[in-house]
Structure 1
Amino acid sequence: MSTIEKALQKQREKNQQESAEQAQAETQDTAQASSSPAASATQETQPREQPAPAPAAPKALITIDQQELREKGLITDSTERQKIKDEFRYIKRKLLNNAFGQAAQNLENGNLVMVSSGKPNEGKTFISINLALSIALEQDKTVLLIDADVIRPSISAELNISPRKGLVEYLLGEVPNVSEVIYNTSISNLKIIPAGEPHHLTSELLASDKMRQLTQELANRYSDRMVIFDSPPLIEVNESQVLANLMGQALVVVEESQSKIADIQKAVDSLDEDLAIGFVINKAVQTQKDMYGYYGY
Structure 2
Amino acid sequence: MSVVEKAGANVLKAAFAKKDKKNKKDKKKRDAVDMTATRQMGEPEKIDLDFEAMSHHGFYNPQERSNQLALEMRAVKRRLLRRIGYLRSSGERQAFRTPGKQRNMILVTSTRAGEGKTFTAINLALSLALEDQIETLLIDADLSRPKIRERLGLPEAAGLHDRILDPKIDVESLGWRLIDAPLTILPEGARAERPTDLFATASAQDMWTELSTANPQRLVIIDAPPVLAATDAVMLAKYADEIVFVVEANSTPEAAVAAAVDELIDINPNVSLMLNRCQIGAGGAHYGSYEYYDRSEAASAPAGKPSSEG
- TM-score for both structures, normalised by structure 2: 0.72
Q: Structure 1: how far apart are the matches of 2:287 and 2:44? A: 37
Q: Structure 2: how far apart are the matches of 1:57 and 1:216? A: 21
Structure 2 match to 1:93: 78
| Alpha-carbon distance change, 127 to 199 in structure 1, aligned in 2, over 3 angstroms | same
Partner of 1:250, secondary structure, is strand
Q: Which amino acid aligns with 2:61?
A: T
How far the C-alpha of 1:208 sits from its partner, in A, is: 2.0
The structure 2 residue matched to 1:283, chosen from 277, 280, 292, is: 277
2:68 maps to 1:83: yes
Q: Which amino acid aligns with 2:86?
A: F
2:101 maps to 1:115: no
How far the C-alpha of 1:80 sits from its partner, in A, is: 4.6
The structure 2 residue matched to 1:255, chosen from 237, 248, 256, is: 248
8 Å CA contact retained: 2:64, 2:70: no
Which structure has the greater CA radius of gyration?
1
Q: 1:160-171 alignment to 2 at 5 Å?
A: 160-171=153-164
Structure 2 match to 1:188: 181
8 Å CA contact retained: 1:129, 1:145: yes
The structure 2 residue matched to 1:73, chosen from 58, 77, 84, is: 58
| Alpha-carbon distance change, 151 to 134 in structure 1, aligned in 2, over 3 angstroms | same
Structure 2 match to 1:216: 209
The structure 2 residue matched to 1:265, chosen from 250, 258, 262, is: 258
How far the C-alpha of 1:296 sits from its partner, in A, is: 2.7
The structure 1 residue matched to 2:286, chosen from 275, 289, 293, is: 293
Structure 2 match to 1:11: none
8 Å CA contact retained: 1:64, 1:187: no
Q: 1:23-34 alignment to 2 at 5 Å?
A: none
How far the C-alpha of 1:223 sits from its partner, in A, is: 0.9
Q: Which amino acid aligns with 1:247?
A: A
Partner of 1:266, secondary structure, is helix
How far the C-alpha of 1:150 sits from its partner, in A, is: 0.7
Structure 1 range deviating more: 203-212 or 224-233: 203-212
Q: Structure 2: how far apart are the matches of 1:266 and 1:181? A: 36
Q: Over residues 211-239 of structure 1, what are the superposed CA-to-partner deviations in whole Å (9 max), with x where a residue is unaligned?
A: 21111112111211000000011122113
| Alpha-carbon distance change, 178 to 80 in structure 1, aligned in 2, over 3 angstroms | closer
| Alpha-carbon distance change, 181 to 264 in structure 1, aligned in 2, over 3 angstroms | same
2:125 maps to 1:156: no
Q: Structure 2: how far apart are the matches of 1:250 and 1:123? A: 15
Q: What residue ranges of structure 2 are gaps of 5+ in the alignment?
A: 1-37, 291-310
Partner of 1:246, secondary structure, is coil
Structure 1 range deviating more: 286-295 or 167-176: 286-295
How many residues are aligned here? 243
Structure 2 match to 1:245: 238
Q: Structure 2: how far apart are the matches of 1:271 and 1:187? A: 36
8 Å CA contact retained: 2:107, 2:222: yes
How far the C-alpha of 1:85 sits from its partner, in A, is: 0.6
Query: What percentage of residue pairs aligned between the two structures are identical?
Result: 28
Partner of 2:45, secondary structure, is coil
Partner of 1:61, secondary structure, is strand
Q: Structure 1: how far apart are the matches of 2:126 and 2:230? A: 27
Structure 1 range deviating more: 119-128 or 56-65: 56-65
Q: Which amino acid aligns with 1:198?
A: R
| Alpha-carbon distance change, 80 to 96 in structure 1, aligned in 2, over 3 angstroms | closer
Q: Structure 1: how far apart are the matches of 2:219 and 2:139? A: 11
Partner of 1:146, secondary structure, is strand
| Alpha-carbon distance change, 218 to 60 in structure 1, aligned in 2, over 3 angstroms | closer
